[in-house]
Amino acid sequence: MAERSPGVAVVNEEKSEACVQSSMCQDIERVLISAEEIQDRVRDLGRQIDERYAGEDLLLIAVLKGSIVFIADLMRAISIPHEVDFLATSSYGAFSTSSGVVRILKDLNEPIGGRHALLVEDIIDSGHTLAYLTRLFSARNPASLEIVTLLDKPSRREVDIDLFWTGFSIPNEFVIGYGLDFNQKYRNLPYIGVLKPEVYQADSE
Ligand code: PRP
């Protein structure tokens, strides 16, 4: 095995291929979930969604922006007919996060009354966003309302959420890639990576 210099972050093959010649590469401490692991899990989720909603009027609802990569892959892993719609939200900062108030920047185009709605999220953290959206959409009387999230950080939960499907349960680390951002960047990485603390600490100084 090759020796590593002390203090040099582990750079595995996938990371170096995906971001070679990009400044993003040097900001990433390590790959937490590889692109292949994600694709395998998304295929599993697609099969389970096929089984659960066979013969039903299924509407996938993605919460922008983090879910765009996940829903793009998930909808192609689902073989039954379905529609997609998008919702944009914004919190009001720290106070609103703890109060659970979420501002709707863009509502759905489609009505969900009587339909099987499946909310597609990239990550559940405190749970406030989905707690709010669950209340909002339940009031519109869908035939069913479930949640699929790629990532879950259970150690950060402040409100209970009934997750129907979870791709991966992860520790409380600053993750980016596969749709997830830091300052709107890194969403295009094909894997979930852990950001070096000095990157986000430098930003808060
Ligand atoms: C993330 C994620 C969820 C929310 C989860 O969105 O996509 O919508 O945070 O956090 P919570 O469980 O603590 O409510 P973010 O605000 O980062 O916006 P983005 O999807 O546009 O990146």
Three-state SS across 34-78? CHHHHHHHHHHHHHHHHHHCCCCCEEEEEEECCCHHHHHHHHHHC
27 lines ligand 1 (CB under 6 A): no
Question: Which of 87, 125, 135, 183 to probe ligand 1 with, by most ligand atoms within 8 A of CB?
Answer: 125
Q: How far is the CA of 118 from the centre of ligand 1 (A)?
A: 17
Interstrand relation of 192-195 and 144-152 (parallel, antiparallel or unpaired): unpaired
- Residue 23: left if φ>0, alpha if ψ -120 to 50, beta else—which one? alpha
Q: So what's the pLDDT on residue 94?
A: 47
Q: Is the pLDDT of residue 149 over 50?
A: yes
- pLDDT tens readout for residues 39-62: 999 999 999 999 999 999 999 999
Copy the structure tokens of residue 8.
């040099």
Within 10 angstroms of residue 43's Cβ, the number of other Cβ atoms is 14
129 lines ligand 1 (CB under 6 A): yes
Q: What is the pTM of this model?
A: 0.88
Q: How confident is the model at residue 14 (pLDDT cuts 50, 70, 90)?
A: low
Dist CA 14 CA 35 (whole Å): 8
Question: Ligand 1, atom 2: nearest CA belongs to which residue?
Answer: 123
Q: How confident is the model at residue 93 (pLDDT cuts 50, 70, 90)?
A: low
End-to-end Cα distance, the chain: 38
Q: Helices marked H in the chain — which ranges?
A: 13-19, 35-52, 68-77, 94-99, 128-138, 197-204
152 lines ligand 1 (CB under 6 A): no
Does residue 32 contact residue 194 with C-beta atoms inside 8 Å? yes
Residues marked as catalytic? 125
**What domains can be seen in the chain, in order of their start residue?**
34-173 (3.40.50.2020)
Question: Ligand 1, atom 7: nearest CA belongs to which residue?
Answer: 66
